[in-house]
Structure 1
């Protein structure tokens, strides 16, 4: 495939971009527009936006589609458009705020790779189904036959023949009277055939839920037998069930069924994402509640401070880091682990600090450095403090938190 083919395809994608319909929209009609353009189920597109939201770019992509895809003009004679649901608009606004913070406040590779994946999928979709728009436009229009003037009504009295302006009765009996027993009613219209029953939809939802339950149970049994069923591996079990639900949604999108799987998939996706962002193993610290410590000497400082949930307030501002007469200049190290809660650490103003702070979901701050959202991370290497000179023993702090706010400050 040459560069010319790629450029031509991109130009065609822009020129044939669909309009957002007014009759099948949940928020702004972006998913419905893409689905109609490429002749696929809109549920599949909406699920794609939800999956993209967990990678941090879903809301931004939807807003971009809202801006770039034109709105269908209002037809005064057509039905009134569906107004966006308030809770959906609010949810989209919240997701957009989180997305913008993740995209512009996080690391580049965290959102560039999902964005390239979405662009590649859209490109392949246009290459395989881009002619659906042209086929619909070139489809010949079949003119409806002109309806015959409707008579005032059938008469049960046989009109005399031979008179001027009279109508000759049918010679052959109609299909509904093969024996010719009622010639006076042969001018009645043919009875319409019975209406065909609507096509039966395949039970995608119950079958997929049953398969998901079987897959989850089998995975749990295997993990129990192998001894790997722990709180830290709950995300793996949820991922297996979520994979089965995702496969059911894809199959249901092509069979026009399976929409009942969407609530289960959304709830399980949120749970799985939470377990991955803030692993449960970080919640297995040494107890719960508030931990307050203010060691003044290196001997009084512990090598680790842990809490499953609660608050850790570690005051090291009075810690003596001067080199002792024994000449030990090794760095002073400590580790802080928090499952869910707040972590506050104060360090001496002039201490030589090396800091690594991570949070599965939350905010991490040190001075003018700050990161937030999922996988927040701040790293400081060899910060010399307010005096700007190397002095005393270096202080090395490692903070590992799950669902927490972490703040490290001097003084």
Structure 2
């Protein structure tokens, strides 16, 4: 029974029925027309939409906490290929056969585990992005489950059964020889009127008329309309940005990207708007950069800045409360400070590196954070998503003397706090 017939006779009433029907009619990864493993092409073929749209959605969502990459790996493991009767992961645990070997399946499981940790622990909306992708796939199945063509699993080869009365090892008897063909007319037909004596020329080949060219599909206006709407929205947001503090470059880029995404979704149903991909990909990259470089307002300028900052204060009063750049590096050398007093400062970098050198005998209480990167603070190291180190170190001479309270954080990059000589 086809997907259309099934949907007409058994409408999907609830979430449980939808999930069961989705699992029973999972998309199958094709061997042709795929870029990596065929997950995007499988979803597009199953629900009769443009595969380019699915690829763009997965690639863009991969920049926000790896949600798109996690969903793609799930599809790789649980969507069977078109010629297999089961997907790689169920086949590995003995529920069918798959052309993907068990070793490569285990490797995919390990990669999926690492990407899932990144997605669930990411502050860039990874968990929210994954939930939105799953919800979109759920709604897609509810509304278009019967539109795409389901590919049945490859039939298993079967051995021919022997006929009744024939033994398995009995030899095959050859057919009796027939009469030999005659090349000359018989005696009763001296004129060669018999049909087998005819020698007629082969008929001339029939010349086929060339097929008319296929009519050219009218060009869709979705791309032009969406591009104009994106320009209008982006221009209006830029004009409003000085009056609205929430409208940072990252937020403006995200809203413009949302307009383009809506245009691509609408264009996928009319086979148009593919030219928007060239605009969506660089905007997604720009959004990723702006998101990671947005450190919040800076006291002196009101906005994050770009560049490299090298500071070596010689007095407690010269130490600022905040050192911040949106992208670049901050090198803070505190070894020239006096042996007494109290210093409290924070260093924040959006995309880049932080390096702080403290005196050898100072009492230091430090907190180091890296959203995506590595930290090395006074001998303690972490290299993972949301790396965090909080430690207190009194130096070589023990407790007493200069006190330093330090908070160092980078969104994407490295944090290093060490003692000088």
- Fold similarity call, TM over 0.5: yes
Mapped contact 1:220–1:229 kept (Cα < 8 A): no
The corresponding residue for 2:77 is 67
Alpha carbons 2:61, 2:68 under 8 Å: kept: yes
Matches within 5 A, 1:7-406: 7-55=16-64, 56-73=66-83, 100=115, 103=118, 106-107=121-122, 111-132=126-147, 197-223=215-241, 227=243, 233-279=248-294, 288-289=307-308, 291-293=310-312, 295=314, 298=316, 301-305=319-323, 311-316=329-334, 332-338=343-349, 341-347=352-358, 352-358=363-369, 362-366=373-377, 367-370=379-382, 376=386, 378=388, 380=390, 383-385=392-394, 394-401=403-410, 404-406=413-415
For structure 1, the 5+ residue unaligned runs are 75-92, 138-190, 324-330
- How many angstroms apart in 1 are the aligned matches of 2:375 and 2:406? 14
Distance 1:395 1:125 in 2: 56
How far off its partner does 1:278 sit? 0.7
- Post-superposition CA distance 1:299-350 (Å, at most 9, x none): 5644444567654333446756657xxxxxxx53023354664321133567
Conserved 8 A contact 2:328-2:351? yes
Distance 2:38 2:217 in 1: 27
Distance 2:125 2:270 in 1: 34
How far residue 73 of structure 1 moved from its aligned partner, in angstroms, is 3.1
Q: For 1:150-194, what per-residue CA distance to the aligned partner results, in whole angstroms no more than 9, with x for missing partners?
A: xxxxxxxxxxxxxxxxxxxxxxxxxxxxxxxxxxxxxxxxx9998
Shift of the 119–341 alpha-carbon distance from structure 1 to 2, 3 Å rule, reads closer
Is the 1:352–1:385 contact (alpha carbons within 8 Å) kept by the matching residues of 2?
yes
Residues 74-129 of structure 1: CA deviation (Å, up to 9, x unaligned) = 9xxxxxxxxxxxxxxxxxx9xx7997396179458954333333223323322333
CA contact (8 A) 2:376 2:416 kept: yes
How many residues are matched? 321
| Distance in structure 2 (CA, Å) of the matches to 1:317 and 1:402 | 26
- Measured after TM superposition, the shift of residue 43 of structure 1 is 2.4
Secondary structure of the 2:405 match is: strand
CA contact (8 A) 1:106 1:371 kept: no
Contact 1:340–1:403 under 8 Å retained in 2: yes
CA gap 1:302/1:195 in 2 versus in 1, 3 angstroms: closer
TM-score with structure 1 setting the length: 0.62
Distance across 1 between alignment mates of 2:48 and 2:38 = 15
Q: When the two structures are superposed, what TM-score results if normalisation uses the length of structure 2? A: 0.61
SS in 2 for 1:52: helix
Q: Structure 1 395/45 Cα, relative in aligned 2: closer, same or farther at 3 Å?
A: same
Shift of 1:17: 1.5
2:46/2:150 contact within 8 Å kept:
no
Question: Please, what is the CA RMSD of the aligned residues?
Answer: 4.5
